[in-house]
Amino acid sequence: GKDVFVPLDFIIGGTKMAGQGWRMLVEQLSVGRCISLPSSATGGSKAAVFATGAYARIRRQFNVPIGSFEGVQEVLARMAGHTYIMDAARSVTAAAIDGGERPSVPSGILKYHLTELGRMVANDAMDIHGGKGICLGPKNYLGRGYQIAPVAITVEGANLLTRSLIIFGQGAIRCHPFVLREIEAARDRDKQRGLQAFDAALFGHIGFTLSNAARSLVMALTLARFSRVPESGPTERYFQHITRFSASFAFATDVAMLTLGGYLKRAESLSGRLADVLSCLYLSSVVLKHYENQGRPEEDLPLVEWACRSLLYKAQEQLHGFLRNFPNRLAAGVMRMFIFPRGRTYFAPSDKLGRDIVESMLRATDTRDRLTHGTYRTVQPSNPLGLLHEAMVLAETAEPLQKRIRVEGVKTGRVTALDPPGQIQQALEVGLITESEAATLREYDRRVMELVAVDDFDDRELRAGAQEDTDRGFREVAGAAVAGR
Protein backbone atom coordinates (compact mmCIF):
# COMPACT_ATOMS: atom_id res chain seq x y z
CA GLY A 1 0.00 0.00 0.00
CA LYS A 2 0.88 3.69 -0.18
CA ASP A 3 0.80 6.29 2.59
CA VAL A 4 0.04 3.62 5.17
CA PHE A 5 0.16 5.02 8.70
CA VAL A 6 0.82 2.61 11.58
CA PRO A 7 0.61 4.18 15.07
CA LEU A 8 3.47 3.41 17.45
CA ASP A 9 0.93 1.93 19.86
CA PHE A 10 0.44 -0.90 17.35
CA ILE A 11 3.94 -2.21 18.08
CA ILE A 12 3.79 -5.45 20.02
CA GLY A 13 4.61 -4.51 23.60
CA GLY A 14 4.09 -0.80 23.00
CA THR A 15 6.54 1.95 22.14
CA LYS A 16 9.10 0.70 24.66
CA MET A 17 9.59 -2.40 22.50
CA ALA A 18 10.40 -0.46 19.33
CA GLY A 19 13.51 -1.92 17.75
CA GLN A 20 13.22 -5.12 19.80
CA GLY A 21 11.53 -7.22 17.12
CA TRP A 22 14.50 -9.50 16.52
CA ARG A 23 14.91 -10.20 20.23
CA MET A 24 11.21 -11.00 20.57
CA LEU A 25 11.39 -13.27 17.54
CA VAL A 26 14.36 -15.20 18.93
CA GLU A 27 12.69 -15.54 22.34
CA GLN A 28 9.57 -16.98 20.76
CA LEU A 29 11.67 -19.28 18.60
CA SER A 30 13.17 -20.79 21.75
CA VAL A 31 9.66 -21.52 22.99
CA GLY A 32 8.44 -22.86 19.66
CA ARG A 33 11.42 -25.17 19.27
CA CYS A 34 10.53 -26.74 22.63
CA ILE A 35 7.04 -27.59 21.43
CA SER A 36 6.49 -28.12 17.72
CA LEU A 37 9.24 -30.40 16.41
CA PRO A 38 9.93 -32.25 19.70
CA SER A 39 6.21 -32.99 20.12
CA SER A 40 5.90 -34.17 16.53
CA ALA A 41 8.93 -36.43 16.89
CA THR A 42 7.64 -37.81 20.18
CA GLY A 43 4.18 -38.49 18.76
CA GLY A 44 5.66 -40.30 15.78
CA SER A 45 7.90 -42.38 18.03
CA LYS A 46 4.98 -43.31 20.28
CA ALA A 47 3.00 -44.50 17.28
CA ALA A 48 6.01 -46.43 15.97
CA VAL A 49 6.60 -48.19 19.30
CA PHE A 50 2.90 -48.93 19.69
CA ALA A 51 2.71 -50.47 16.22
CA THR A 52 6.07 -52.26 16.29
CA GLY A 53 5.47 -53.91 19.66
CA ALA A 54 2.18 -55.35 18.41
CA TYR A 55 3.67 -56.30 15.03
CA ALA A 56 6.57 -58.11 16.69
CA ARG A 57 4.02 -60.14 18.66
CA ILE A 58 1.76 -61.20 15.79
CA ARG A 59 4.41 -61.61 13.06
CA ARG A 60 5.84 -65.12 13.32
CA GLN A 61 8.94 -66.76 11.90
CA PHE A 62 9.99 -70.36 12.59
CA ASN A 63 6.73 -70.78 14.52
CA VAL A 64 7.57 -68.11 17.12
CA PRO A 65 6.81 -64.36 17.27
CA ILE A 66 9.70 -62.31 15.91
CA GLY A 67 9.64 -60.44 19.21
CA SER A 68 11.17 -63.57 20.77
CA PHE A 69 14.42 -63.14 18.83
CA GLU A 70 17.11 -61.31 20.77
CA GLY A 71 18.13 -59.30 17.72
CA VAL A 72 14.60 -57.90 17.46
CA GLN A 73 14.38 -57.44 21.23
CA GLU A 74 17.53 -55.33 21.23
CA VAL A 75 16.06 -52.98 18.65
CA LEU A 76 12.60 -52.85 20.23
CA ALA A 77 14.08 -52.10 23.66
CA ARG A 78 16.07 -49.25 22.11
CA MET A 79 12.91 -47.89 20.51
CA ALA A 80 11.02 -47.97 23.82
CA GLY A 81 13.91 -46.45 25.78
CA HIS A 82 14.39 -43.61 23.32
CA THR A 83 10.66 -42.91 23.29
CA TYR A 84 10.64 -42.73 27.09
CA ILE A 85 13.45 -40.16 26.99
CA MET A 86 11.59 -38.15 24.37
CA ASP A 87 8.29 -38.20 26.26
CA ALA A 88 10.00 -37.18 29.49
CA ALA A 89 11.84 -34.27 27.86
CA ARG A 90 8.71 -33.11 26.05
CA SER A 91 6.40 -33.14 29.06
CA VAL A 92 8.81 -31.71 31.66
CA THR A 93 10.04 -28.90 29.39
CA ALA A 94 6.50 -28.04 28.29
CA ALA A 95 5.54 -27.77 31.96
CA ALA A 96 8.42 -25.33 32.47
CA ILE A 97 7.12 -23.21 29.58
CA ASP A 98 3.63 -23.25 31.09
CA GLY A 99 5.25 -21.96 34.27
CA GLY A 100 6.58 -18.90 32.44
CA GLU A 101 10.11 -20.07 31.61
CA ARG A 102 11.81 -19.22 28.30
CA PRO A 103 14.24 -22.14 28.07
CA SER A 104 16.58 -21.20 25.23
CA VAL A 105 19.20 -23.87 26.02
CA PRO A 106 16.71 -26.73 26.62
CA SER A 107 14.97 -25.74 23.37
CA GLY A 108 18.18 -26.45 21.47
CA ILE A 109 18.66 -29.70 23.36
CA LEU A 110 15.12 -30.87 22.62
CA LYS A 111 15.19 -29.79 19.01
CA TYR A 112 18.41 -31.65 18.30
CA HIS A 113 18.09 -34.78 20.42
CA LEU A 114 14.37 -35.47 20.09
CA THR A 115 14.39 -35.16 16.31
CA GLU A 116 17.52 -37.34 16.11
CA LEU A 117 16.00 -39.93 18.44
CA GLY A 118 12.80 -39.77 16.41
CA ARG A 119 14.77 -40.59 13.28
CA MET A 120 16.45 -43.51 15.06
CA VAL A 121 13.09 -44.84 16.23
CA ALA A 122 11.74 -44.60 12.68
CA ASN A 123 14.75 -46.48 11.34
CA ASP A 124 14.40 -49.18 14.00
CA ALA A 125 10.70 -49.58 13.28
CA MET A 126 11.46 -50.03 9.60
CA ASP A 127 14.10 -52.65 10.41
CA ILE A 128 11.67 -54.74 12.46
CA HIS A 129 8.84 -54.43 9.94
CA GLY A 130 11.10 -55.37 7.03
CA GLY A 131 9.29 -55.50 3.71
CA LYS A 132 6.08 -54.31 5.36
CA GLY A 133 7.75 -50.94 5.87
CA ILE A 134 9.32 -50.44 2.45
CA CYS A 135 6.45 -51.43 0.15
CA LEU A 136 4.54 -48.16 -0.11
CA GLY A 137 0.78 -48.25 -0.34
CA PRO A 138 -2.38 -47.89 1.75
CA LYS A 139 -1.35 -50.80 4.00
CA ASN A 140 2.02 -49.25 4.87
CA TYR A 141 1.62 -47.20 8.06
CA LEU A 142 5.36 -46.45 8.48
CA GLY A 143 6.72 -45.44 5.09
CA ARG A 144 5.57 -41.83 4.92
CA GLY A 145 6.65 -41.12 8.49
CA TYR A 146 10.07 -42.54 7.66
CA GLN A 147 10.30 -40.33 4.58
CA ILE A 148 9.38 -37.15 6.46
CA ALA A 149 11.83 -37.67 9.36
CA PRO A 150 14.64 -35.60 7.73
CA VAL A 151 12.35 -32.55 7.61
CA ALA A 152 12.44 -32.18 11.41
CA ILE A 153 16.21 -32.65 11.34
CA THR A 154 16.65 -29.73 8.94
CA VAL A 155 14.16 -26.99 9.83
CA GLU A 156 14.29 -24.47 12.73
CA GLY A 157 18.07 -24.73 12.92
CA ALA A 158 19.84 -27.62 11.20
CA ASN A 159 20.89 -30.27 13.69
CA LEU A 160 24.54 -30.14 12.68
CA LEU A 161 24.61 -26.44 13.52
CA THR A 162 22.53 -26.86 16.66
CA ARG A 163 24.88 -29.45 18.16
CA SER A 164 28.22 -27.96 17.19
CA LEU A 165 27.50 -24.28 17.84
CA ILE A 166 24.26 -23.52 19.66
CA ILE A 167 23.73 -25.91 22.58
CA PHE A 168 27.10 -25.52 24.27
CA GLY A 169 27.72 -22.04 22.86
CA GLN A 170 24.62 -20.77 24.65
CA GLY A 171 24.77 -23.16 27.58
CA ALA A 172 28.37 -22.37 28.53
CA ILE A 173 27.41 -18.75 29.15
CA ARG A 174 23.75 -18.89 30.19
CA CYS A 175 24.07 -21.90 32.49
CA HIS A 176 27.34 -20.83 34.13
CA PRO A 177 26.92 -19.01 37.45
CA PHE A 178 29.80 -16.57 36.83
CA VAL A 179 30.70 -16.22 33.13
CA LEU A 180 27.70 -14.07 32.21
CA ARG A 181 28.34 -11.83 35.23
CA GLU A 182 31.97 -11.43 34.16
CA ILE A 183 30.94 -10.45 30.64
CA GLU A 184 28.37 -7.94 31.89
CA ALA A 185 30.90 -6.45 34.32
CA ALA A 186 33.48 -6.06 31.55
CA ARG A 187 30.90 -4.16 29.46
CA ASP A 188 29.85 -1.86 32.29
CA ARG A 189 30.54 1.77 31.33
CA ASP A 190 31.07 2.66 34.98
CA LYS A 191 34.64 1.39 35.27
CA GLN A 192 34.76 1.43 39.08
CA ARG A 193 31.50 -0.46 39.47
CA GLY A 194 32.45 -2.82 36.65
CA LEU A 195 35.84 -3.55 38.22
CA GLN A 196 34.28 -4.41 41.56
CA ALA A 197 31.66 -6.64 39.94
CA PHE A 198 34.29 -8.31 37.77
CA ASP A 199 36.57 -9.02 40.73
CA ALA A 200 33.71 -10.55 42.69
CA ALA A 201 32.66 -12.71 39.73
CA LEU A 202 36.26 -13.71 38.92
CA PHE A 203 37.11 -14.86 42.44
CA GLY A 204 33.78 -16.66 42.60
CA HIS A 205 34.62 -18.32 39.29
CA ILE A 206 38.01 -19.46 40.57
CA GLY A 207 36.45 -20.90 43.71
CA PHE A 208 33.76 -22.59 41.63
CA THR A 209 36.37 -24.24 39.39
CA LEU A 210 38.48 -25.50 42.30
CA SER A 211 35.37 -26.79 44.06
CA ASN A 212 34.27 -28.70 40.96
CA ALA A 213 37.76 -30.15 40.53
CA ALA A 214 37.73 -31.47 44.09
CA ARG A 215 34.14 -32.74 43.84
CA SER A 216 34.84 -34.41 40.52
CA LEU A 217 37.88 -36.23 41.92
CA VAL A 218 36.20 -37.36 45.13
CA MET A 219 33.02 -38.54 43.41
CA ALA A 220 35.00 -40.34 40.70
CA LEU A 221 37.03 -42.19 43.34
CA THR A 222 33.95 -43.09 45.43
CA LEU A 223 31.61 -43.58 42.43
CA ALA A 224 29.50 -40.79 43.99
CA ARG A 225 28.14 -43.13 46.65
CA PHE A 226 28.16 -40.44 49.33
CA SER A 227 26.49 -37.71 47.28
CA ARG A 228 23.28 -36.34 48.72
CA VAL A 229 20.07 -37.19 46.88
CA PRO A 230 16.50 -35.80 47.17
CA GLU A 231 15.28 -39.11 48.59
CA SER A 232 16.39 -42.71 48.67
CA GLY A 233 14.87 -45.33 46.41
CA PRO A 234 15.51 -47.32 43.24
CA THR A 235 16.61 -44.20 41.32
CA GLU A 236 19.00 -42.96 44.03
CA ARG A 237 22.18 -43.99 42.21
CA TYR A 238 21.19 -42.12 39.05
CA PHE A 239 20.85 -38.87 40.99
CA GLN A 240 24.34 -39.46 42.34
CA HIS A 241 25.84 -40.21 38.93
CA ILE A 242 24.23 -37.08 37.47
CA THR A 243 25.82 -35.05 40.27
CA ARG A 244 29.21 -36.58 39.55
CA PHE A 245 29.15 -35.96 35.81
CA SER A 246 27.77 -32.45 36.34
CA ALA A 247 30.83 -31.57 38.43
CA SER A 248 33.12 -33.14 35.83
CA PHE A 249 31.40 -31.25 33.03
CA ALA A 250 31.65 -27.92 34.86
CA PHE A 251 35.33 -28.50 35.60
CA ALA A 252 36.11 -29.49 31.99
CA THR A 253 34.22 -26.46 30.68
CA ASP A 254 36.12 -24.01 32.89
CA VAL A 255 39.50 -25.48 31.96
CA ALA A 256 38.57 -25.43 28.27
CA MET A 257 37.51 -21.78 28.39
CA LEU A 258 40.65 -20.85 30.34
CA THR A 259 43.12 -22.62 28.03
CA LEU A 260 41.41 -22.27 24.65
CA GLY A 261 39.63 -18.94 25.02
CA GLY A 262 37.78 -17.84 21.89
CA TYR A 263 39.10 -20.83 19.94
CA LEU A 264 36.66 -23.05 21.84
CA LYS A 265 33.76 -21.65 19.79
CA ARG A 266 35.57 -22.54 16.57
CA ALA A 267 36.54 -26.00 17.83
CA GLU A 268 33.17 -27.41 16.82
CA SER A 269 34.03 -31.05 17.49
CA LEU A 270 35.01 -30.26 21.08
CA SER A 271 32.02 -27.96 21.48
CA GLY A 272 29.75 -30.68 20.10
CA ARG A 273 31.05 -33.24 22.60
CA LEU A 274 30.50 -30.85 25.49
CA ALA A 275 27.02 -30.14 24.09
CA ASP A 276 26.30 -33.87 24.20
CA VAL A 277 27.42 -34.06 27.84
CA LEU A 278 25.21 -31.11 28.79
CA SER A 279 22.30 -32.61 26.86
CA CYS A 280 22.66 -36.04 28.46
CA LEU A 281 22.70 -34.50 31.93
CA TYR A 282 19.56 -32.50 31.17
CA LEU A 283 17.75 -35.45 29.58
CA SER A 284 18.62 -37.85 32.41
CA SER A 285 17.35 -35.26 34.89
CA VAL A 286 14.00 -34.91 33.13
CA VAL A 287 13.71 -38.71 32.91
CA LEU A 288 13.89 -38.91 36.70
CA LYS A 289 11.46 -36.00 37.04
CA HIS A 290 9.04 -37.63 34.60
CA TYR A 291 9.18 -40.86 36.60
CA GLU A 292 8.35 -38.94 39.76
CA ASN A 293 5.52 -37.06 38.03
CA GLN A 294 3.91 -40.34 36.98
CA GLY A 295 3.83 -41.61 40.55
CA ARG A 296 6.99 -43.77 40.39
CA PRO A 297 5.29 -46.90 38.98
CA GLU A 298 7.53 -49.85 39.78
CA GLU A 299 6.82 -51.59 36.49
CA ASP A 300 8.33 -48.61 34.61
CA LEU A 301 11.71 -48.95 36.33
CA PRO A 302 13.32 -50.91 33.47
CA LEU A 303 12.57 -48.01 31.12
CA VAL A 304 13.92 -45.46 33.61
CA GLU A 305 17.08 -47.48 34.21
CA TRP A 306 17.66 -48.06 30.49
CA ALA A 307 17.19 -44.37 29.72
CA CYS A 308 19.46 -43.12 32.52
CA ARG A 309 22.15 -45.70 31.86
CA SER A 310 22.20 -44.92 28.14
CA LEU A 311 22.40 -41.18 28.72
CA LEU A 312 25.02 -41.28 31.46
CA TYR A 313 27.13 -43.78 29.53
CA LYS A 314 27.04 -41.45 26.54
CA ALA A 315 28.00 -38.52 28.79
CA GLN A 316 30.99 -40.51 30.04
CA GLU A 317 32.09 -41.49 26.53
CA GLN A 318 31.74 -37.94 25.22
CA LEU A 319 33.81 -36.62 28.13
CA HIS A 320 36.43 -39.23 27.30
CA GLY A 321 36.36 -38.20 23.64
CA PHE A 322 36.68 -34.55 24.66
CA LEU A 323 39.80 -35.28 26.73
CA ARG A 324 41.31 -37.51 24.07
CA ASN A 325 41.00 -34.77 21.43
CA PHE A 326 41.78 -31.75 23.61
CA PRO A 327 44.61 -29.82 21.89
CA ASN A 328 46.42 -28.84 25.10
CA ARG A 329 47.70 -32.25 26.13
CA LEU A 330 49.01 -31.09 29.51
CA ALA A 331 45.61 -29.65 30.45
CA ALA A 332 43.94 -32.81 29.12
CA GLY A 333 46.13 -34.96 31.37
CA VAL A 334 45.30 -32.84 34.41
CA MET A 335 41.57 -33.00 33.66
CA ARG A 336 41.73 -36.77 33.18
CA MET A 337 43.28 -37.22 36.64
CA PHE A 338 40.35 -35.38 38.21
CA ILE A 339 37.55 -36.77 36.00
CA PHE A 340 38.60 -40.38 35.38
CA PRO A 341 41.13 -41.32 38.10
CA ARG A 342 39.81 -44.91 38.01
CA GLY A 343 39.17 -44.97 34.28
CA ARG A 344 35.75 -45.23 32.73
CA THR A 345 33.58 -47.07 35.25
CA TYR A 346 30.07 -46.56 33.88
CA PHE A 347 28.44 -49.17 31.66
CA ALA A 348 25.69 -49.18 29.05
CA PRO A 349 22.35 -50.96 29.73
CA SER A 350 22.52 -54.74 29.95
CA ASP A 351 20.78 -57.12 27.55
CA LYS A 352 18.60 -58.41 30.40
CA LEU A 353 17.33 -54.89 31.06
CA GLY A 354 16.36 -54.63 27.40
CA ARG A 355 14.51 -57.95 27.55
CA ASP A 356 12.57 -56.76 30.60
CA ILE A 357 11.43 -53.73 28.60
CA VAL A 358 10.39 -55.82 25.62
CA GLU A 359 8.25 -58.05 27.84
CA SER A 360 6.02 -55.05 28.55
CA MET A 361 5.92 -53.97 24.89
CA LEU A 362 4.69 -57.30 23.47
CA ARG A 363 1.47 -57.40 25.49
CA ALA A 364 -1.17 -55.02 26.81
CA THR A 365 0.44 -53.62 29.97
CA ASP A 366 0.17 -50.41 31.96
CA THR A 367 3.77 -49.59 31.03
CA ARG A 368 2.98 -49.87 27.34
CA ASP A 369 -0.12 -47.70 27.80
CA ARG A 370 1.79 -44.99 29.67
CA LEU A 371 4.64 -44.96 27.17
CA THR A 372 2.32 -44.67 24.16
CA HIS A 373 -0.29 -42.44 25.81
CA GLY A 374 -1.96 -40.22 23.24
CA THR A 375 -1.73 -42.58 20.28
CA TYR A 376 -4.93 -43.01 18.29
CA ARG A 377 -5.90 -46.62 18.96
CA THR A 378 -9.61 -46.75 18.14
CA VAL A 379 -10.41 -50.04 16.42
CA GLN A 380 -11.70 -49.26 12.95
CA PRO A 381 -10.72 -50.33 9.41
CA SER A 382 -8.89 -47.07 8.67
CA ASN A 383 -6.70 -47.21 11.81
CA PRO A 384 -3.94 -49.85 11.65
CA LEU A 385 -2.73 -49.01 15.17
CA GLY A 386 -6.05 -50.03 16.69
CA LEU A 387 -6.20 -53.18 14.57
CA LEU A 388 -2.64 -54.15 15.53
CA HIS A 389 -3.37 -53.69 19.23
CA GLU A 390 -6.55 -55.73 18.97
CA ALA A 391 -4.68 -58.55 17.22
CA MET A 392 -1.94 -58.44 19.86
CA VAL A 393 -4.53 -58.83 22.63
CA LEU A 394 -6.14 -61.73 20.74
CA ALA A 395 -2.70 -63.39 20.50
CA GLU A 396 -2.87 -64.09 24.24
CA THR A 397 -5.72 -66.51 23.52
CA ALA A 398 -4.58 -67.80 20.13
CA GLU A 399 -0.92 -68.62 20.85
CA PRO A 400 -1.60 -71.45 23.37
CA LEU A 401 -3.98 -73.01 20.82
CA GLN A 402 -1.38 -72.71 18.06
CA LYS A 403 1.19 -74.37 20.31
CA ARG A 404 -1.21 -77.23 21.07
CA ILE A 405 -1.77 -77.86 17.36
CA ARG A 406 1.97 -77.75 16.67
CA VAL A 407 3.01 -80.03 19.55
CA GLU A 408 0.10 -82.48 19.67
CA GLY A 409 -0.85 -82.37 16.01
CA VAL A 410 1.97 -81.48 13.61
CA LYS A 411 4.79 -83.19 15.51
CA THR A 412 2.76 -86.37 16.06
CA GLY A 413 1.56 -86.54 12.46
CA ARG A 414 -2.11 -86.06 13.30
CA VAL A 415 -2.09 -82.71 11.49
CA THR A 416 -0.36 -82.73 8.08
CA ALA A 417 -1.60 -79.54 6.42
CA LEU A 418 0.99 -76.86 5.71
CA ASP A 419 -1.19 -73.75 5.78
CA PRO A 420 -2.81 -72.39 8.98
CA PRO A 421 -6.43 -72.69 7.77
CA GLY A 422 -5.82 -76.34 6.83
CA GLN A 423 -4.13 -77.06 10.16
CA ILE A 424 -7.02 -75.51 12.06
CA GLN A 425 -9.53 -77.64 10.17
CA GLN A 426 -7.60 -80.87 10.69
CA ALA A 427 -7.03 -80.09 14.37
CA LEU A 428 -10.78 -79.62 14.73
CA GLU A 429 -11.50 -82.89 12.96
CA VAL A 430 -9.14 -84.93 15.17
CA GLY A 431 -10.45 -83.31 18.35
CA LEU A 432 -7.45 -81.21 19.32
CA ILE A 433 -9.54 -78.03 19.51
CA THR A 434 -13.21 -77.18 19.92
CA GLU A 435 -15.45 -75.30 17.51
CA SER A 436 -15.13 -72.08 19.50
CA GLU A 437 -11.34 -72.44 19.62
CA ALA A 438 -11.25 -73.05 15.88
CA ALA A 439 -13.33 -69.92 15.33
CA THR A 440 -10.90 -67.94 17.50
CA LEU A 441 -7.91 -69.24 15.52
CA ARG A 442 -9.56 -68.52 12.17
CA GLU A 443 -10.38 -64.95 13.24
CA TYR A 444 -6.86 -64.42 14.56
CA ASP A 445 -5.28 -65.82 11.39
CA ARG A 446 -7.48 -63.60 9.22
CA ARG A 447 -6.52 -60.48 11.14
CA VAL A 448 -2.82 -61.30 11.15
CA MET A 449 -2.75 -62.00 7.42
CA GLU A 450 -4.46 -58.68 6.73
CA LEU A 451 -2.04 -56.78 8.94
CA VAL A 452 1.21 -58.33 7.68
CA ALA A 453 0.18 -58.18 4.01
CA VAL A 454 1.70 -55.56 1.72
CA ASP A 455 0.09 -53.78 -1.22
CA ASP A 456 0.44 -55.06 -4.75
CA PHE A 457 -0.83 -53.27 -7.83
CA ASP A 458 -1.66 -54.41 -11.33
CA ASP A 459 0.59 -52.92 -14.02
CA ARG A 460 -2.44 -51.41 -15.72
CA GLU A 461 -3.39 -49.60 -12.50
CA LEU A 462 0.11 -48.17 -12.18
CA ARG A 463 0.14 -47.03 -15.80
CA ALA A 464 -3.31 -45.49 -15.40
CA GLY A 465 -2.17 -43.67 -12.27
CA ALA A 466 0.95 -42.36 -13.96
CA GLN A 467 -1.07 -41.15 -16.94
CA GLU A 468 -3.54 -39.42 -14.63
CA ASP A 469 -0.66 -37.62 -12.90
CA THR A 470 0.72 -36.52 -16.27
CA ASP A 471 -2.68 -35.27 -17.44
CA ARG A 472 -3.16 -33.39 -14.17
CA GLY A 473 0.24 -31.76 -14.62
CA PHE A 474 -0.64 -30.63 -18.15
CA ARG A 475 -3.95 -29.19 -16.92
CA GLU A 476 -2.23 -27.25 -14.13
CA VAL A 477 0.38 -25.82 -16.51
CA ALA A 478 -2.29 -24.86 -19.03
CA GLY A 479 -4.41 -23.25 -16.32
CA ALA A 480 -1.45 -21.23 -15.08
CA ALA A 481 -0.68 -20.07 -18.63
CA VAL A 482 -4.28 -18.94 -19.17
CA ALA A 483 -4.31 -17.14 -15.82
CA GLY A 484 -1.06 -15.39 -16.76
CA ARG A 485 -2.70 -13.78 -19.78
Question: pLDDT tens digits for 369-382?
Answer: 999 999 999 999 99
- Please confirm, yes or no, whether 305 is among the known catalytic residues: no
The predicted structure's pLDDT at residue 465: 63
Of 27, 70, 116, 156, which one is the catalytic site residue? 156
**CB-count burial class (<10 Å; 0-12, 13-18, 19+) for 399:** middle
Helical axes 301-324 vs 329-339, angle rounded to 10° = 150
The pLDDT of residue 472 is 66
pLDDT (tens digit per residue) in 74-89: 999 999 999 999 999 9
Q: How far apart are CA 122 and CA 144, in angstroms?
A: 10
pLDDT score at 483 = 56
DSSP state of 348: P
Q: Looking at the predicted structure, is the pLDDT value of residue 467 above 80?
A: no
* Domains of the chain with bracketed CATH: 31-156 (1.20.140.10), 173-344 (no CATH), 384-452 (no CATH)
- Flag whether pLDDT at 476 surpasses 70: no
| 395-425: pLDDT as tens digits | 999 999 999 999 999 999 999 999 999 999 9
What is the structure's pLDDT at 189? Answer: 85
Please give the C-alpha separations between residue 24 and each of 15, 94, 106, 245, 429, in angstroms, as whole numbers: 14, 19, 18, 34, 76
Q: What is the pLDDT of residue 247?
A: 94
Asked if 308 and 88 count as a contact pair (C-beta separation under 8 A), the reply is no
pLDDT value for 367: 97
More confident position, 156 or 89: 89
**Predicted confidence (pLDDT) per residue in 445-464, tens digit:** 999 999 999 988 887 776 77
Look at residue 178 in the predicted model and tell me its pLDDT: 80
| Burial class (CB within 10 angstroms; exposed 0-12, middle 13-18, buried 19+) of 436 | exposed
Nearest to 250 by CA among 272, 288, 278: 278
pTM, two decimals, is 0.88
Indicate if the pLDDT at residue 146 is higher than 90. yes
Question: Which pLDDT score is estimated for 478?
Answer: 58
Give me the chain's average pLDDT, please. Answer: 90
Q: Is the pLDDT of residue 470 over 90?
A: no
Other CB atoms within 10 Å distance of the CB of residue 151: 11
pLDDT digits (tens, 9 = 90+) for 292-329: 999 999 999 999 999 999 999 999 999 999 999 999 99
Ramachandran region of residue 224, left (φ > 0), alpha (ψ -120 to 50) or beta?
left
Instruction: Give pLDDT, residue 222.
Output: 95
Least confident stretch, 38-47, 195-204, 214-223, 445-454: 195-204
Backbone φ/ψ region at 297: left (φ over 0), alpha (ψ -120 to 50), beta: beta
Say yes or no to pLDDT of 481 above 60.
no
More confident call, 318 vs 230:
318
Residue 190 has pLDDT above 80, yes or no: yes
Question: Does residue 59 carry a pLDDT above 70?
Answer: yes
Strands 60-61 and 64-65: antiparallel
Percent of the chain residues past pLDDT 90, beyond the cut: 68
* Number of residues assigned to the chain: 485
pLDDT tens-digit profile of 254-289? 999 888 887 888 899 999 999 999 999 999 999 999
